[in-house]
Amino acid sequence: MTKLIKTISSNQLQNEKKIFKILVVSLCLIGILYFYFASSTIFYIINKNNGLGKINSINLDCQGLEENYFAMANDLNLDTMFEKGFVEETKGNFAVRQTTMAQR
The structural domain count of the chain equals 1
Q: What is the pLDDT of residues 9-59, one digit of tens each?
A: 777 778 888 999 999 999 999 999 999 999 999 999 988 988 898 999 999
3-state helix, strand, coil in the chain (%, to 5): 75, 0, 25
Sign of CA dihedral 65, 69, 75, 79: positive
**By residue range, what is the domain housing residue 17?**
2-84
78 domain residue, yes or no: yes
102 domain residue, yes or no: no
Q: What is the pLDDT of residue 44?
A: 92
Mean pLDDT of 3-11: 69
Residue 45 to residues 32, 34, 36, 39, 54, Cα–Cα distance (Å): 20, 17, 14, 10, 14
Q: What is the pLDDT of residue 82?
A: 83
What's the whole-model pTM score? 0.47
Q: Between 79 and 66, where is the model more confident?
A: 66
Task: Report d(CA 22, CA 28) in Å as an integer.
Answer: 10
